[in-house]
Structure 1
Amino acid sequence: MKQSFSLWLIIIAYLVTGGLYATLTPAWEAPDEPAHYNYVRQLANGRLPVIEPGDYDQAYIVQVVFESHFAPEYDISRLTYEDWQPPLYYLLQWPVYRLTRGSLPAMRLVSVVLGAGVIVLAYGIARQLFPDEKWIALTTAVFVAFLPQHVAIMASVNNDSLAELLIAAILYVLIDWSRQVETSPEAPDNKRLVWLGGLLGLGFLTKGTVYVMAPVTAVVLWWALRHQRQQLLQAAMWVFVPALLLGSVWWGRNLVVYGGWDILGKQAHDAVVTGQPRTAEWVAQYGLWGTITRFWQTTFHSFWGQFGWMTVPMPSWVYVPLGLFTAVSGLGWLGAVWHSWHQPGKQAKRPFLSALILGSTFLLTLSLHAGYNLTFVQHQGRYLFPALIPIGLGITIGLGMWIRPLRQRWSWAIWLLPLGLGIALFSLDLLALYRFILPALT
């Protein structure tokens, strides 16, 4: 992967921003952070956590989080409802916990560093797809690096950071393999497939959001090799044998601990986590249209920035321009797709498999978010972050479409896009931290 001085500037600026969020955001004021922290604490005490009755107490959470804002008289060690999660992220944090005696800022900074890896891979994926358009890679990296809500999540103790890193790595390897297959279909690279299987297996040991990459991978393998049955079978074995072997370590443990066929521990989790607002209750209270409106509005707000435990939104004078920005980007993306479709020979330059990978990752992630909200009220935009790289690429391409007329006259105009977006989002990060988050939570 070719790197650049500009990418290093983005990474340094991100590390500074993430470091500020990690060290200045008050303790525990990130979604579910105490429960993730307590998972590591239990590992440090020599116990692999098991979710069980009493781990989730809705009334106690309301008192601790929303009424007292983590007043010292409340015991946060009682918040252990993430005990069902796969262990890899927490095992990574375990030595940091031991070396720093449980320092929350130090553990947050580990997540920040993992987030830097996501940015590098976002840049690399864009360079794979558009090797002659470096501005696309830089703009995509800028968006992933400085999206305010993403910075806040990456600067917290939360397994999202490692999950996103593994998803980004899977996307990078899968796109790399697919491009090689499109140019040399008779000789697919098995080494890439083994790497892909290993990454997917590590994802199985990290978080359920990574599981979405299993069907994405399966569909891509089938489409690429559907006319070569033997090679398709071999490719599937190279990927899914190591992935399933790694995953089976965790799934087998869950079968022993929870019984039945609860290989993910989710049935045990759902039985313990009671008292959460349910969508049916909201439909009865607000009506169907009111519930749908709240779902989309809160998802949009919390995708860009709704901080703390969803208790610190930004004012409307921030969201309105962000809504216009999103609409303009979306229209530009549609225009770019139409333009590409109607240009002879353009399809050859934009491989179908790469579009399939990115598109299916986005659609499956969006479907899971919407599907979960059919039962529980969880309108958190961060649940779309597993597809942040496809989203960032789409926004970049959409914005680039609007700059085409300027670029035809002044070739340097395209570089205003990563520069302008970087300055705008970096400024919004600082504004959100010092104007909204700290005054509300301190």
Structure 2
Amino acid sequence: MDTESKSINRRSDRALIVIIAAFVALSAIYSFVTQLKRGPDEPAHFIYIRSLATEFSVPEIAHVETHTEDSTSSHEAHQPPLYYAVLAIPYAALNAIGLSSDVIWRVLRLLTIPIGAIWIYFVYLLALEFFEKKPYALAATAFVALIPNAAYTAGVVNNDIAISLFTTWALIPILRYFKTGEIKPRSALGLGALMGLAILTKAQGIILPAVFLIVSLAVCRKSEYKNWKQVLLSAGIALGTMALVSGWWFARCYILYKTISPHSLYDPIDPSGIVGALFASPFWMAKATWNSTGLLIGYFWAPFWLMQKFIDFIPYFNTLCALAVIGALGLVFRLRRGKDVDRRSLALLIATAILTYVLWLNYIISVDKMANLQGRLLLPVASIFGIIAVLGFDGWLRGEKAKMIGVITGIVLMLLANAVVIGCAIAFYAGGGI
């Protein structure tokens, strides 16, 4: 490696450290600004951790929201246990030395931040796998790290950052397999373990084996099915490992609840799901989808409940839509301008994001309509949005100087967005948090 390449690598490494440090700093600020016990579903998550640490068992499923830690049941008790089991270890240690519940809660919040920092690192690795250019990968990573809701979510007790980590991590070998058409047995084993850990963190991880099967079929078709034995072997290793890692949880759920996917809160729009609602009333379904998607987008970008007393949702949403349209047009320009973008890989990543969205949409229709406010459910594919955003705005910018100005401007605007959210949060809790 020549001196210039080493210098570029050092600068890239420093930039990545700065991005991760900024994410950690923002997460810590959000953690301390957000009133203790007032994060999204935070008492329910805390009860789960406490039950594993003190009772060595998953709490009973509550079918109403658990707003305080006084309950012994939790409406999050239907969730897989990995995140809670990990944090049960420090809970047990801190509880053993007599620390108060509030102090333990604060520590658990802070221990979630390193999970977020590791997630941001894997966002970079996924973006680098796609772009194969460090500056572009760094830009995508900075975009994700500075999404206000990303840092906010890492600063409170929840399992959404953990599923974001495992999903992003697993997408790296999946994308590499799609690009090269090859995956070694050891890599398939590792991928299976990652998919299993993702599913053990949150059932949302089930999108990963679906994407993996799509990739396996694509790899097989690309070779005109000449490599079907290797593809089948790799699929068997990966899916078998995944089943060994996570299958026991679903067996437990079936034994206890007669279903592999129990629910706590049940308030559906239409119990028949997307297909049933679409056939029953297409117009109504389109309207419900539009309204729910609008809320999802707004709450993905920022924890809007902290802002709603001070900022009207409509102009806020319209601003996000305008930026999305600008980015989409830029993406079209970028794809038309050159063939250096891996369109097949981009299509795979977009399909993954769409699959995540469809899974969410079916959930709010058939299970819990209030999940339309849980924009954090899109954080597992935030890395894909970062890649698309970089490509989109790159389509508008010509020349290195223009791109540098664009990146700096984008970072400043996103830091200002975080400052606005933090300011709103301070005012929100100062006013009683209502």
Equivalent position of 2:6 in the other structure: none
Q: Does residue 220 of structure 2 align to residue 225 of structure 1?
A: yes
Instruction: Tell me which of 100, 109, 117 is aligned to 2:94.
Output: 100
1:199–1:215 Cα change, 3 Å? same
Pairwise CA RMSD of aligned residues? Answer: 2.8
Structure 1 residue 90: Cα displacement: 0.5
CA displacement 1:275-309 (0-9 Å, x = unmatched): x47469xx99x976764453233222212223458
Counterpart residue number, 1:160: 160
| 1:291-440 equivalence runs, <5 A | 291-308=288-305, 314-315=311-312, 318-340=316-338, 343=339, 346=340, 350=342, 352=344, 354-375=345-366, 376-377=368-369, 378-380=371-373, 381-404=375-398, 407=399, 411-434=400-423, 436-440=424-428
Mean CA deviation greater in 105-114 or 212-221: 105-114
CA gap of 1:290–1:351, structure 2 versus 1, over 3 A, is closer
Question: Alpha-carbon deviations, 1:238-287, whole Å to 9, x = none?
Answer: 211111111122122223322x3x123x2xx2xx524x47469xx99x97
Cα distance between partner residues in 2 of 1:79 and 1:309: 27
Preserved CA contact (<8 Å) 2:147 2:301: yes
Residues 302 and 310, structure 1, Cα contact 8 Å, conserved in 2: no
Using the size of structure 1 for normalisation, the TM-score is 0.82
Distance 1:232 1:302, change over 3 A: same
Letter of the 1:222 counterpart: L
Contact 1:30–1:307 under 8 Å retained in 2: no
Equivalent residues in 2 for 1:270-309, closer than 5 Å: 272-274=264-266, 276=267, 278=269, 291-308=288-305
Tell me the number of residue pairs that the alignment of Structure 1 and Structure 2 aligns.
397
Specify whether residues 295 and 318 from structure 1 end up closer, same or farther in structure 2 by C-alpha distance, changes over 3 A only. Answer: closer
Deviation at 1:372, TM superposition (A): 1.9
Query: What letter matches 1:420 in structure 2?
Result: T
CA distance in 2 between counterparts of 1:89 and 1:351 reads 35
- Cα distance 1:314–1:137, how it changes in 2: closer, same or farther (>3 A)? farther
Asked if the contact 1:193/1:239 (under 8 Å) is kept, the reply is: yes
Structure 2 length normalisation: TM-score?
0.83
The CA deviation at 1:233 is 1.3
Secondary structure at the counterpart of residue 158 of structure 2 = coil
Deviation by residue 1:211-242 (Cα, 9 ceiling, x = unmatched): 11110011101211341221111111221111
Q: Which residue of 1 aligns with 2:131?
A: 130
Residue equivalent to 1:114: 115
Aligned to 2:98: none
Distance 1:351 1:290 in 2: 32
Residue in structure 2 matched with residue 69 of structure 1 by the alignment: none
Unaligned runs of 5+ in 1: 65-73
Alpha-carbon separation, structure 1, partners of 2:79 and 2:47? 12
Counterpart CA distance in 2 for 1:171 and 1:287 is: 35
Deviation at 1:365, TM superposition (A): 0.7
Within 2, Cα distance between the matches of 1:136 and 1:83? 40
Offset of residue 23 of structure 1: 1.7
CA pair 432-164 structure 1, distance change in 2 beyond 3 A: same
Displacement of 1:355 in angstroms is 2.8
What are the residue-to-residue correspondences of 1:260-275 with 2, within 5 Å? 260=258, 262-264=259-261, 266=262, 269=263, 272-274=264-266
1:236 is aligned to 2:230: no
Q: CA deviation at 1:96?
A: 2.1
Are 2:50 and 1:57 aligned? no
3-state SS of the aligned residue for 2:395? helix
Q: Is the 8 A contact 1:100 1:106 kept in 2?
A: no
Give distance in 1, aligned partners of 2:295 and 2:409. 27
Which residue in 1 is equivalent to 2:274? none
Letter in 2 for 1:253: R
Measured against aligned partners, the alpha-carbon deviations of 1:361-390 in whole angstroms (never above 9, x if no partner) come to 111011112222323322122222222111
Q: Which residue of 1 aligns with 2:39?
A: 30
> What is the one-letter code of the residue matched to 1:299?
L
On the 8 A contact 2:148/2:418 being kept in 1, the answer is yes
Q: 2: CA distance between counterparts of 1:160 and 1:239?
A: 24
